[in-house]
Chain A
Amino acid sequence: MTAESWQIVFFTIEVSALSTLLILPLGIAIAWFLARRDWPGKAVVETLVMLPLFVPPVATGLVLLMLFGRRGLFGSILQRGMGLEIVFTWRAVVLAGAVMSFPLLVRTAQSAFREVNPRFEEIARTLGASEWRIFRTISLPLALRGIVAGAVLAFARAMGEFGATAVVAGMIPRKTMTISLAIYQNVQLGQDSAALPLLFVSIAIVFVTVFCGQIISRRRGAR
């Protein structure tokens, strides 16, 4: 492994971790609402959340490019308001990872919230607890293992993200190059020997991550 390869590995881990942290608050909130509340249009929100799982990643990347480009709806606001460039920067890598892994986090956390016996929340209400206190002290701790398992899956998904990242962040060396992009580029250039170490490291990281997620899920099931 060259120094450049190691830089790519650490960069990929960093942006994947950051994208996972970024989606946690919103993902948990949406998962709780989907699991515990009924409202008109819930099915639409549920479908929207799941879309990145089924839409081709390149198409998702194109949507992000249109939204976060300099002339895009959000991109222009961020550019003018905060001077933030998104596309073709490391932020776009984080954004693509976050969007693509969001459904996995929400789906897992939603089922974790559903598994919490609603009786606990009802009894907490009769004991005088507010909804926020019930969420903090009952629902969240009892669903925590499921949420952690979801976050682990989201991290693993972000680690392997390719299509959307390639479109919205490009393949810029030392700037937006992730493991997946580097493997693809090396193979395209016929440099399989440079791609192989990245392939093994990538498999090792994702294996350990998903394995940890499985262990956490099994413990949750045993409770």
Chain B
Amino acid sequence: MSLRLNNVRLSLAAFTLQVDATLDLPIAGIFGPSGAGKTSLLELIAGLRRPNAGSILLDSTVLSDAPASFLPPRLRRVGYVPQDLALFPHLSVRANLVYGFRVETVEDERVTLKHVVEVMELAQLLDRNVTNLSGGEQQRVAFARAILSAPRLLLLDEPMNSLDSRLKQRLVPFLFRIRDEFRIPLIYVTHDASELKSLCDEVLILEDGRVVERGVPADVLS
């Protein structure tokens, strides 16, 4: 599976993002300093922003082709876990998890509430309110909620940003489980090069809204 960003341009007040690249999945990384446009790029892929120009294709599916076509986010089947996780604070863990679960869109029989809860080790937390969970637990709930919406692609925006090094170490195996157990391709955004070296097959380096390098993590992040 690949994601093609064909001369995609997003103009904001004092910033322009311009990307022309292909990301080979299952796990691709986007690396760059704060303000490089990483989150804006993910929001374009998720359909939360409309590009001013260019097209985005997930394999043969046209996600957007500005200005003519734009597939709304609810029809894209692109999961997105933002930095702040955005867990619904008024709902329990269970209600958060099943929010996006629709039997008709699930093609993989492993994507069931029971199995996802088991793999992400959430069984003890199901009836708790999400606001009462630790940072690492909230992170796993956000991953599981996105998995249960049966996405064709999952976007993770600096998922380890707010975690200490001990929790980061604990979370890495869960990311591999998403890839191996559920076979969901990932795009992983971070400004920490060490995370990408252990996780990604390919890395795109963004600076000031432009792609400055692309390749295998060991080469481009050395």
B86-115 CB contacts (< 8 Å) to partner A: 86, 88-90, 99-100, 102, 105
A124 at the interface (CB under 8 A from B): yes
A128, B74: Cβ atoms closer than 8 Å: yes
Contact of B74 among A125, A138, A142 (CB under 8 A): A125
| Interface Cβ pair total, 8 Å cutoff | 57
Quick one: closest B residue to A144, CB to CB? B90
Question: What are the residues of chain B within 8 A of A191 when measuring CB–CB?
Answer: none
Chain A positions within 8 Å of B, measured between CB atoms, are 117, 119-120, 122-130, 137-138, 141-142, 223
Contact of A142 among B89, B145, B146 (CB under 8 A): B89
B84 to chain A: closest CB distance in Å?
6
B218 at the interface (CB under 8 A from A): no
Q: Chain B contact residues (Cβ within 8 angstroms of A): what range?
A: 20 to 34
Contact of B86 among A119, A128, A129 (CB under 8 A): A119
B33 at the interface (CB under 8 A from A): no
Question: What are the residues of chain A within 8 A of B82 when measuring CB–CB?
Answer: 119, 123
B80, A126: Cβ atoms closer than 8 Å: yes
B84, A119: Cβ atoms closer than 8 Å: yes
Question: What are the residues of chain B within 8 A of A137 when measuring CB–CB?
Answer: 99
Q: List 9 A-B contacts (CB under 8 A).
A: A117-B86, A119-B82, A120-B86, A122-B48, A126-B76, A128-B77, A128-B102, A128-B105, A142-B90
B41 to chain A: closest CB distance in Å?
15
B84, A127: Cβ atoms closer than 8 Å: no
B149 at the interface (CB under 8 A from A): yes
